[in-house]
Structure formats: C-alpha cells, structure tokens
Amino acid sequence: MSLFKYLSTSILLSILALGLTLQGVQARELPEFTRLVESYGPAVVNISTKQKVKEAHRGLPKGLDIPNLPENGPWNDLFRHFFGEGGEGGEMPEREARSLGSGFIIDRDGHILTNNHVVADAEEVIVRLNDRRELKAEVIGTDERSDIALLKVDADDLPVVRLGKSRELKVAEWVMAIGSPFGFDHSVSVGVVSALGRSLPSENYVPFIQTDVAINPGNSGGPLFNLDGEVVGINSQIYSRTGGFMGVSFAIPIDVAMDVVAQLKESGHVTRGWLGVLIQDVTRELAESFEMDKPAGALVAQVLEESPAGKAGIKVGDVIIEFNGEKLHYSSDLPPMVGRTRVGSDATVKVLRDGKTRTLKVRIGELPAEEALQKSSGKPKKITTDRLGLSIIELSKEQRKELDIRKGGVVVEQVTEGAAAAAGIQRGDVIVKLNNLDVEDAASFRKQVDGLPSGRSIPVLVIRRSGPLFLALRVPED
C-alpha cells in the first residue's frame, strides 16, 4: 500500500471514529425522562368536578309570545321548557356540568395542588390516583388572583412529588409536564423554558414561566418538572387562537404557589403587599421626555387616595426604577415584587422625578378586595341588568360636583333594547330614585331592580344636565 493510500485510509477512519464519538456524546447529552415519570408520575392525579349551572334562556324570536295554552296540557309544558322561563318563579332550569383537570400530591397528609379554575364553584371534587383509587377531596382554600387551589384527601400510602425552586430555573432548561389533556390520564409532554417572569394582562401578581411544553385542556393544575425530578411550576394557561396548543404555555412558579399554600393553611386566605399606584410602561418617547437613557421602570399615572404610596410621597409623573433594590425593566415587574412583600414591612422605592433620582421609604399595605380596589382607583365596576336592559356604574366625584348630587345615585353607562329604552332613559342619566326609593349605590340598585313588581309601571327619577326628570318605566313580565 502506497503512503498516500495509507494516509487517506487513516484520515477517513479517523473522521468516521470522530463522527461516531460525537454522536455518542450528543446521545448522552439528550435528556432522559423515563426514570422521572416512573418515580414521580404516580403522584400526579386526575381531578374531576361536578357543579350546577343554569340553562341559558333561549326565548322565542322577537315579536312572538308564548300562546295561551291549557295550563295542564302537554303543549304548554313543551313551550315553557324550550322557550319560556323554564321553572317556577321565572328561574332558569339547572343542569349538571363537569370539568376536568390535573393536580399533584405535595405531602403524605394528602394535600394536593391544582388551579383554582379547575375547582371553582364545584359541588363535588373527585381525585383519581394512578392506582385507580377514586377519592373525594375537600377544598381547603383557593386564591383566585394566583389561580391556586389547595385540596386534601384522606388516604394512606400516597405517593408525593419533590418540590424544587423555580427561582433557580434558567431559560432553555429542559422541563416535563404530566397531566390529563382531554381526559387522557398521565400524559407526558416535554420541552424547554422559553422565558421567565412573564406578565399576563389578566394576572398582575404572578411572574409566569413560559414554556413550549404541549399543554391542552385537562393539563391545568398539573406539575412542571425539571430534570432533577422536582416540581418547579403548575401548568395553568396557554396562548392560543384555536383553543388548542400553539407552542406557548404558562406555568405558575412553585415558589409563588407554596407561599399561597402556607397562607391558606395558616389563615384560609391570602394577603399581598400593596403600593396603591396605577402604572404604565415607559415608551421610547416618554423616556426621551424624562431624559432617560433608555425606556425602563414604571410610570405612575395615578396615586390612589389614602394609599401607602400617597403617604410615602410618591407622585403622579414619578418613574419607579427600583423596588427594594431590584431594578424594574418593565412596569409589569412591579406588581409581583410588591405583592410578595410582607404587609406592614418597610420598602425602599427609587423614583426618577424632574430628572433626579430620589429614594423613598414606603410602609407596605394590604392589597384590598377587587371591589374596594376598583372604587379607590376610580374605575367603578359595571353592573348590567337584563331585566331593564341597561348597565350602570357608580358616580365619580367630578360627576357629583357637576350635577350637585351629594349622595346616592348611579350613572347609566349603556342602554340596550328593553324597558329602560322604552321609558326614555338615556346614557349619562343619573338614576336617584327607583319606585320612590332612594338609590344608594350600584349594589342597592341591583337589589331594587330584582324586587320590582312585574307588569307594572313604576316612577324613576333621573337627573340630567337640564335638571331632574321623572320617567314612567313599565317593568316587564317575568
């Protein structure tokens, strides 16, 4: 064999050997999930619930009425069932609804974590284990804001998961989900962490873990594992235009969930820190106007009355750039930071004001209930009453001052086709009396409407810019 042939053969063999070696290295580096599923899969449970929901009122087409048929005849019952009130006293008929989700056992005492939306309004919660045992679960507590529910079952020899630390997660790390998509128990899907600390429009207090793990209806409440077999999140939501998985799913960090669990066990409810500001993102144009190098922080658009922020001297127009030493890149970073701060503790807030930075000390308050928060923020809750065909909201201070209304009254936000429109009630009217009774607020208005006599005309006193005006409103038959 010539020297050239020998060298060529040696080089070719070396290349082949190197290729096989690289393939072996790559194969060894691929994640191995089978042992994780065998070890911790049995602690994942299927959750089914039963609840009563009212049937929708189907009604006859516009302009048609139920005919006068013999009271005890079969046709009368048929018409009433499909097109009428559906029950005595005008109540809608109820049907039994079922929902499906997932969960996982966190301790030997039988505590189970899942999503609040899996068990919300449930009359009965059934947990099915991997060994096919079915157990009734007690709802220990729920937290709607974080979408966490804590359940408990009474059983022996329960498998449990290992809990990890979501704050140690890194982007592009491999993760695995186990759940019951579409009712298929103990289905496994894998992927990577796509992003951390995601803020969703409807969830201000949870810094979500974003993954590309396949999550579908029925996966809600199931665990998200890391490669060490530790639960690092609770699969909760997906982004989808079709209702199915599209490559973007979100999990609640287990650190957040376990803080909620501790509070639910201790007091039965969850408290969160509160600053009392309405904020918005800093755009490039706003950053330029504030003489900032780049857009960052949370711009204060409103400081709520009697709030911790107001007492600490935070002002509208301040840009909050740090909270307790943590820098804010986006305005959405602030709510989770404040929310996990202990109520009653002191926090430092660094703001940018008039081109200069200031450090303020704030005594953190407790986040109020949603209704109180809406009232204090000047964003009143809208109440819709189908009985009259209108929507109302609370009066603002400016409206009271403009119309010289010292107390009571509600503002008509929207008028649809119905009794209110027929009576001449208009958008912007302030209803101060209904059937000769004072309207104190939105909640009392709703109760007054429910108690109005059917089929009768009642007086309604409204105030417009032109002055007060009585209108006759005929209450529709129930």
Report which of residues 392 and 164 the model is more confident about: 164
Across 88-180, the runs of DSSP E, i.e. the strands, are: 94-105, 111-115, 124-128, 134-136, 138-143, 148-152, 162-163, 174-179
Q: Quick one: the chain helix, strand, coil %, rounded to 5?
A: 25, 35, 40
Residues 138 and 49 in one domain: yes
448-472 pLDDT per residue, tens: 888 888 888 888 888 887 778 888 8
The CATH number linked to 440 is 2.30.42.10
In the prediction, which pLDDT does 80 show? 55
Residues 120 and 86 in one domain: yes
Mean pLDDT of 423-445: 88
Residues 262 and 300 in one domain: no
- Which residue is catalytic, options 146, 220, 249, 391? 220
Record the pTM: 0.69
Q: What is the token pair recorded at 136? A: 């009734």
In the prediction, which pLDDT does 297 show? 95
Residues 6+ apart with CB under 8 A from 168: none
> Quick check: is 147 catalytic?
yes
329-357 pLDDT per residue, tens: 999 999 999 999 999 999 999 999 988 99
Residues 393 and 339 in one domain: no
Report which of residues 403 and 234 the model is more confident about: 234
Residues 412 and 455 in one domain: yes
86-141 pLDDT per residue, tens: 444 445 556 566 778 999 999 999 999 999 999 998 999 999 999 999 999 999 99
The answer as to whether 9 is a domain residue is no
CA distance 102 to 224: 11
Provide the Cα torsion 339, 344, 350, 354; round to 10°: 100
Q: What are phi and psi of 283, to 5 degrees?
A: -80, 175
Short-list 384, 67, 99, CA closest to 220: 99
Report which of residues 188 and 22 the model is more confident about: 188
Residues 333 and 262 in one domain: no
State the chain's maximal CA–CA distance in angstroms: 115
Contact predicate 218/127, CB 8 Å: no
Q: Of 107, 125, 152, which one is at a domain's C-terminal end?
A: 152
The answer as to whether 320 is a domain residue is yes
Q: Which range of residues forms the domain containing residue 416?
A: 380-474
Q: What is the token pair recorded at 405? A: 């209304």
**Structural domain count, the chain:** 4
Residues 193 and 173 in one domain: yes
CA Rg, the chain, in Å?
30
The answer as to whether 51 is a domain residue is yes
The answer as to whether 10 is a domain residue is no
Q: Of 223, 238, 267, which one is at a domain's C-terminal end?
A: 267
> Quick check: is 220 catalytic?
yes
Mean pLDDT of 198-210: 86
Q: Of 246, 267, 288, which one is at a domain's C-terminal end?
A: 267
Of the pLDDT bands very low, low, confident and very high (cuts 50, 70, 90), residue 244 is confident
**Cα 264 to Cα 77, 399, 409, distances in angstroms:** 48, 41, 38
> Quick check: is 39 catalytic?
no
- Which residue is catalytic, options 81, 117, 186, 329? 117
363-375 pLDDT per residue, tens: 999 998 765 666 6
Question: Above 90 in pLDDT, residue 24?
Answer: no
The answer as to whether 83 is a domain residue is yes
The CATH number linked to 169 is 2.40.10.10
The answer as to whether 66 is a domain residue is yes
CA distance 189 to 216: 10
The number of beta carbons lying within 10 Å of the beta carbon of residue 408 is: 17
Of the pLDDT bands very low, low, confident and very high (cuts 50, 70, 90), residue 16 is low
- Which residue is catalytic, options 147, 255, 333, 429? 147
The answer as to whether 30 is a domain residue is no
